[in-house]
Structure 1
């Protein structure tokens, strides 16, 4: 029996990594396209994924005309789909659409056609986004994708988008999108007993994703803004079920990065200037200021410091704007470069090691 198809939505530029994670979990990848991976069946959702939707209807992409959209939607949903208890109460639901290519209609036209079709087939109250009205929070969320080849109609099986992590109680300006942080953690090739530094930790997203991937490593997150480290500490407490880890008495080597030298105990947070950080680390992972919402004046000095604290064979995984790539120029050997698109910006993830020259 064929498993249900699943649309796994991805950050642009990370589709390949989502596909790798799906395959590693034992599921078949059907196709990969811009911002989307189609898979057969899915157990635990990929950490790098932006969101996940279960497919309930498909049809050939209807093309450019508005009239053809109605015919395509009827072909994709000829009868009421067998939807198990969808998230939301009172039958409220909304539809969001992604449309690839030039069309004679907009996303709201697609959303309204699908929303009205679903309401007619299975009932419920459709909440359109056409006029800027925000749908009720407690709702089911349908997704429509016209990718140039196929019209997909799918339903999110969860109450919240996958990228909305439960631990993320607080953010600060420049906070990293969690799936991007998860991707950086995977690129860091973390291992048990690694000592990992984030010298611009912000609200802690990157190290929390790294710890989720590799809980056997020791993590130190610092930021010169006390509000940022307080946010990171609060998020870590939410993620770890109330375990307290603060910078007082932190050991940076020997006993491990952990309060009281507890091995593999989690993440330590401290208020400190990245330009003066001490210690020895196998990995530096970071989202330094881009100079957009947070000033980037101290970043070059901090990057020079990384060469001093990295163990031989150590790696840096950093996300920067294209104009900041030169920070890892002389004295560094770039092993990988991955462009992504996040909130209208196009940063680059770099994986690098100190060069011998």
Structure 2
């Protein structure tokens, strides 16, 4: 996802990408407030307070994390800290969090709520983030009240529902445009189609699970989605009438294949080939390195979804 986030920053002119690291992309923006609101492929968008170098492997090195400089601009609210430590160290994430949290609490004169032991901070805290990779540490603060991946529309859910930033990345990779007919054949709670709703496309979702369709209707209220109670292996759509397909098929994990796909999973790909326009595009989220039967792959983007290896595949119909 880091590469996809960096690509969106560049393509949308949101700023200059300075660094791509482990689960982070550093960029400089002429309008940070606008960039914070306009980056749907990112899990979160934070303001960098400091980038510190020379972080070693012992607990003594944690003292460097307090070299944050002037903090007169920082919010004066109770705070929490979340840390990611890449690689083996003689300290853990809670050691990092408590070192930074205690320092910020002292300098800013506000309470610090530790996450040690898995304790969740109370509502209303300002969230700080620390990432240590190699000898570099990034300390940043979230200016919004909640992470960017928490969408207001996500009022209903079903097992296997897609993470909104992943859905947003798939929409961008599909190149969805105004007037396109877009299909999600296994729409679940509607996340892919809702992330595409600002493009001006005509959006169709199908699912054979009535509970999934109810969730999609709740989440997509007022957006004009056309939702069909249908089997993804036997869609009630004419041949060649779809311009873009966005698909998160059942992985046989949280969501088992049902209907025609339970008997023959390849039916999905043959049916999608039937309904897609010859110049159309498919973007599918596949488990691991699962093959895409009967398609011509144009690009593959490896990611992790719920801790499992996955691949976003962009594909076209095979000619001939």
Determine if the TM-score, normalized by the shorter chain, exceeds 0.5. yes
Post-superposition Cα deviations, 1:291-323, rounded to whole Å, max 9, x if no partner, equal 001113514212210111111111111101025
1:227 is matched with which residue: 211, 233, 238? 211
- Kindly indicate whether residue 195 of structure 2 is the aligned counterpart of residue 209 of structure 1: yes
1:273 CA drift (Å):
1.2
Kindly provide the CA deviation profile for residues 332-352 of structure 1, in whole angstroms up to 9, marking residues without a partner as x.
111111110122111111111
2:288 corresponding residue in structure 1:
322
| Partner in structure 1 of residue 57 of structure 2 | 64
Indicate the SS of the match to 1:97: strand
Q: 1:316 to 1:60 in 2, by over 3 A?
A: same
1:15 and 2:2 are equivalent in the alignment: yes
Distance (whole Å) between structure 2 residues aligned to residue 270 and residue 136 of structure 1: 41
Quote the offset at 1:58 in angstroms.
2.7
Could you tell me how far 1:53 is from its partner in structure 2?
A: 1.1
Kindly indicate whether residue 302 of structure 2 is the aligned counterpart of residue 336 of structure 1: no
Distance (whole Å) between structure 1 residues aligned to residue 24 and residue 227 of structure 2: 35
| Cα shift at 1:225 | 0.6
Superposition pairs of residues 96-107 of structure 1, within 5 angstroms: 96-107=82-93
Partner of 2:101 in structure 1? 115
Distance 1:302 1:109 in 2: 49
Q: Residue 179 of structure 1 corresponds to which residue in structure 2?
A: 165
The normalised TM-score by structure 1 is 0.82
Q: Tell me what 2:271 maps to.
A: 305
Give me the whole-angstrom Cα distance separating, in 2, the residues matched to 1:136 and 1:163: 19
**Alignment of structure 1 residues 148-167 onto 2, 5 Å:** 148-167=134-153
Give the structure 1 partner of residue 128 of structure 2.
142
CA distance in 1: counterparts of 2:52 and 2:281, whole angstroms? 46
Distance in 2, Cα, partners of 1:102 & 1:283: 44
Q: Displacement, 1:101? A: 1.7
- Confirm or deny: 8 A CA contact 1:61 1:147 kept in the other structure: no
Aligned residues: 306
| Alignment pair present for 1:282 and 2:243 | yes
Asked if residue 82 in structure 1 is aligned to residue 69 in structure 2, the reply is no
Equivalent in the alignment of 1:271: 229
- The Cα RMSD (Å) is 1.6
Work out whether 1:25 is the aligned partner of 2:42: no
Map of 1:50 onto structure 2: 43
Shift of 1:150: 2.0
Query: Normalising by the residue count of structure 2, what TM-score does the alignment of the two structures yield?
Result: 0.91
Shift of 1:63: 1.0
* Equivalent residue, structure 2, for 1:192: 178
Contact 1:92–1:136 (8 Å) recurs in 2: no
Q: SS of 1:292's equivalent?
A: coil
Displacement of 1:26: 3.9
Distance across 2 between alignment mates of 1:190 and 1:184: 10
What's the CA shift for 1:137?
Answer: 2.0
Segment drifting more, 41-50 vs 223-232:
41-50
1:79 CA drift (Å): 5.0
TM-superposed CA distance for 1:84, in Å, is: 4.3
In 2, distance between residues paired with 1:21 and 1:125?
A: 37
Structure 2 residues without counterparts, runs of 5 or longer: none
- Note the residue ranges of structure 1 that are not aligned, 5 or more in a row: 1-13, 86-90, 238-242, 246-265
CA distance in 1, matches of 2:75, 2:288: 45
2: CA distance, partners of 1:22 / 1:135: 31
Alpha-carbon deviations, 1:26-64, whole Å to 9, x = none? Answer: 411111112111111332331111101111223214110
